[in-house]
Structure formats: structure tokens, C-alpha cells
Structure 1
């Protein structure tokens, strides 16, 4: 079932109780009709809209280790996940993929800065002058122009 917020689930239950059809609600929330149907069934059976806890693979890291991974990465952003996984205190080795997953859970995603030339004032002035010279170009005249200085081709 798609992830609906608790507020959305409660609104859906309210709409069902108000007499709206499942198809109308599904279209309104942009979800499949089966999602609304299973939510209504869960509410009738258990009186709750939340997903019931499921068994799953136990977490390898504790909450403290998760925080340690996050803080270590924030202190040294260029440290690799492999190096971080080797330096985590604890009894068992942690896979670098686990480190990447924990960082993603905290909203930290790998980014590499784009290497671009620094635009100076004279560059900006030249660009503005060029734009003013070509402001009256037609659609046909623009088809022959290709801007390659701002695109990152590798």
C-alpha cells in the first residue's frame, strides 16, 4: 500500500463514512482503489488506520550507532562508507551498504559538486549584452543556436 500520512488516512475514513465512493476517493488521493479498500477493511476490523507492525529483518545497528554514523559523516563529509563502516564501535562488522542506508534515513545523500567556471562580472555583462542583441529573434532563428557552456557533458 502506498505511504499515506496519518492525516490523509483519517480524511479517507471520514470521506468513506460521509458516503463517498472508493473510486472517487482513490482518484482524489491519486492511489489505486485497492488501497482505499484495504484501508477501509483495516479500519472496520481493527479500528485503526495505521499499518500493523510486521516482522522483518532485525536491524544490525542500534539507535546509538545510527547517530554515530550520522555524526561521523557530518564531521567528515568526504569519508567513504567503507571507511565509516570499519570505524563503528561495536561487536560486529557493518557493511558499507548499511552505512549508506542509515545516512539516507537521516536525509543525507551523496552529492559531488559540479565543476564549473566561475562567472565574473564581465562574463555576466557580456551575457546580458548578447541577450539584448538577440531579444527579437524568431523561433526559426533560435533553432540554430546551441548553448553548450552551461551544460555538463562528460
Structure 2
């Protein structure tokens, strides 16, 4: 059920004061008639249509700290939320869960990184030249065999690692884990 913003609430009260029925106003604004009835009774009691103060836990971090969290994770995308929580300057320590929540608000989430072999600039140039050379020679592709049958972990652990990235940044260079295929 959609909420009414302040402008819509003021318009609804004006229409109700003009004598229109509650269910007609509710249908016009696309909300349930109980919302209009509660709005009308609140207006008659208090004389305004503003939302009442809501209780809730206050934020632990400030905007500057939220911005710091975002910048830290965009500089080092493989850093854990726990390490970031310990490095935040401020009066109170924060939890890793708070860090993950603040990153989620910025649409930066932990995801499994894409894995590709270590490629230097000369490797990229050679691969591009190879592809452009063989692009139109379809008969040669029948003689090329691509295999990936073995798994070796020489320089890294076999554990899970997460990269904090936005949607669409999967193959960005700083969001990819580079691994050597053959020692």
C-alpha cells in the first residue's frame, strides 16, 4: 500500500473538507479507505497532517563516516567488513553488520569475484591480435581445443572471498581475482 506524501495528505484533507466521501478520496489517491479515515481523524484532533515522530534506534554513524566506509571499500574491494569497522574514526566502535548495512544503502554488495588468469598488457595485446586474426576463419575453430580440467592453488587459498562492488562492475580490473593457471 503506497504512503501519501505531505502534499497528497493536504490535498486529501482539502477534498474531505469540501464534503467528498472517504471512499471516493481513497480511490482517487489509490490507498485504503482506513488511511483516509485515520488522516481525517488526526487532522480533526491536532489540526495538522504531518507525520508523528517515530521511535527507533538512532544511527550510529554520521554521513561523513558513511562516506568513509564507501570510499574504503571502493579503494580496496576485497577488504572485509570487520576490518573496515575497526578502522572507522569515531567515538564509538561499530559492528561489521553496520558496515554491510551502510554499503547496502549505497548499493554496494558483497559478491563472489570473477576469476581470470593473470594478464599483463602484452598478454592482452597478443590475445586481441589472435582473436582478430582468427575472427573470420571459422574452419580453424574446429581444430582449437579449450580445456580447464585441473585445479591448482599455488598463490592463494581455496577459501571464500568476497568483493564489494556495484551492479555492472563484475569484470572491472579491481573487482576480479587474478590467479595463475600453471605454477
State the TM-score, normalizing by the size of structure 2.
0.49
Whether the 8 Å CA contact 2:84–2:96 is kept in 1: the answer is yes
How far apart are residue 85 of structure 1 and its match?
2.5
Give unpaired runs (5+ residues) of structure 2. Answer: 110-164, 172-183
* C-alpha contact (below 8 Å) 1:2/1:35 kept by paired residues: no
* 1:111 aligns to 2:152 (yes or no): no
Following superposition, the deviation at residue 102 of structure 1 comes to 3.1
Aligned-partner SS, 1:113? coil
- Greater C-alpha Rg: 2
- Cα deviation, 1:101-140, whole Å, max 9, x if unaligned, reads 3345556676343879xxxxxxxxxxxxxxxxxxxxxxxx
Q: Is the 8 A contact 1:69 1:102 kept in 2?
A: yes
Structure with a larger share of its residues in strand: 2
Query: Which runs of no fewer than 5 residues in structure 1 stay unpaired?
Result: 117-154
Report the Cα offset of residue 89 of structure 1.
Answer: 0.9
- What is the distance in 2 between the residues matched to 1:23 and 1:52? 24
Q: Which residue of 1 aligns with 2:40?
A: 40
Contact kept? 1:69, 1:88, Cα under 8 Å? yes
Structure with the higher fraction of residues in helix conformation? 1
Offset at 1:48? 1.6
The higher relative CO (CA closer than 8 Å, separation ≥ 6) is in 2
Tell me the CA shift for residue 87 of structure 1.
2.1
The root-mean-square deviation of aligned C-alpha atoms, in Å, is 3.1
